[in-house]
Amino acid sequence: MRKFIFIAVLALLCSSGLLGQNFVTKNGNIRFYSEGKIEKIEAMNHQVNAAMNSQTGDFVFKVLMKSFQFEKALMQEHFNENYVESDKFPTATFLGKVANIKDVNFTKDGSYPATVEGKLTIHGVSHDVKATGTFEVKKDVVQGKAKFFVTLADYNINIPSAVVSNIAKAVEVTVDVTLEKFNK
């Protein structure tokens, strides 16, 4: 019977993440790239917030939409005003998990392939996404890299017919975050 209590307490400890280490960044990078028939659109965000727990594999992102920088100021204005409506939906979030967290050895330097799954919320609309990438462990730092595609229509982002050939239906999203140990 004591075993039951022991297991229950262990489960409590594990799932609350007390045993795991949190890794956090506030200046990760996300690039998105759209190659339409007429023009290429590229935007960078260098203020990406991300956090991961090495035990549970929980992995979350929080991105301020107004922090995306475009080469053309007009594109940036249209992105915020007309497409993602940044005043109404200021942030995009991702709540997910590293599916194969057990395969990543955070105590040993090296590169580990990873699969991340979860719910991506953009423009107030949530969708399940899955991306493959790598974790590079180097001392106390974990660099996560991944690339995936986001279909604009999934997130109720409407492209008017006049500019439909300027913007790709699916934009390529490249994530590059350097997570550091968060001690508290």
Partner 1 sequence: MSKITRLFLVLLTLVQPIFLFAQNDLMNLLDDKKPTTDYTTATFKTSRIVIGQSVENPAQGDMLFIITHHFGALNTGYENLFGLKQASIRLGAEYGLTKRIGFGLGLNTDRNTWDGFIKVKVLRQSKGARNMPVSLSIFGNTAIYTTKWEVPERTNYFSSRISYAMQIILARKFGNSLSLQLTPSYVHRNMVASYQDHNDVFSVGFGGRVKISERVSLNAEYHYLFPGQIKSEKVYSSLSAGIDIETGGHVFQIFLTNSAGENEESYLTATRGSWSKGDIFLGFNITRIFTIIPQKLGRD
The residues that touch partner 1, with contacts defined as CB under 8 A, are 1, 4-5, 8-9, 11-12, 15-17, 22, 24, 26, 42-44, 46, 49-53, 56, 58-60, 62, 64, 66, 69-74, 76-78, 80-82, 85, 87-88, 90, 93, 95-96, 160, 162-163, 166, 182
What is the C-alpha to C-alpha distance for residues 28 and 48, in angstroms, rounded to an integer? 4
Minimum CB separation from partner 1 for residue 1, in Å?
A: 4
What is the C-alpha to C-alpha distance for residues 143 and 18, in angstroms, rounded to an integer? 22
From residue 29, how far is each of 43, 46, 135 by CA, in Å? 11, 5, 15
Strands 22-35 and 170-182: antiparallel
Contacts with 99 (C-beta within 8 Å, 6 or more apart), sequence order: 57, 114, 115, 116, 117
Q: Which is nearer to partner 1, 89 or 148 (CB)?
A: 89
Q: Which is nearer to partner 1, 49 or 126 (CB)?
A: 49
Minimum CB separation from partner 1 for residue 34, in Å?
A: 14
Minimum CB separation from partner 1 for residue 128, in Å?
A: 14
Q: Which is nearer to partner 1, 71 or 140 (CB)?
A: 71
Minimum CB separation from partner 1 for residue 37, in Å?
A: 13
Which of 86, 79, 4, 66 lies closest to 34 in space, CA to CA? 79
Minimum CB separation from partner 1 for residue 36, in Å?
A: 11
Q: Which is nearer to partner 1, 108 or 162 (CB)?
A: 162
Q: What angle do CA 30, 148, 25 make, to 5 degrees?
A: 35
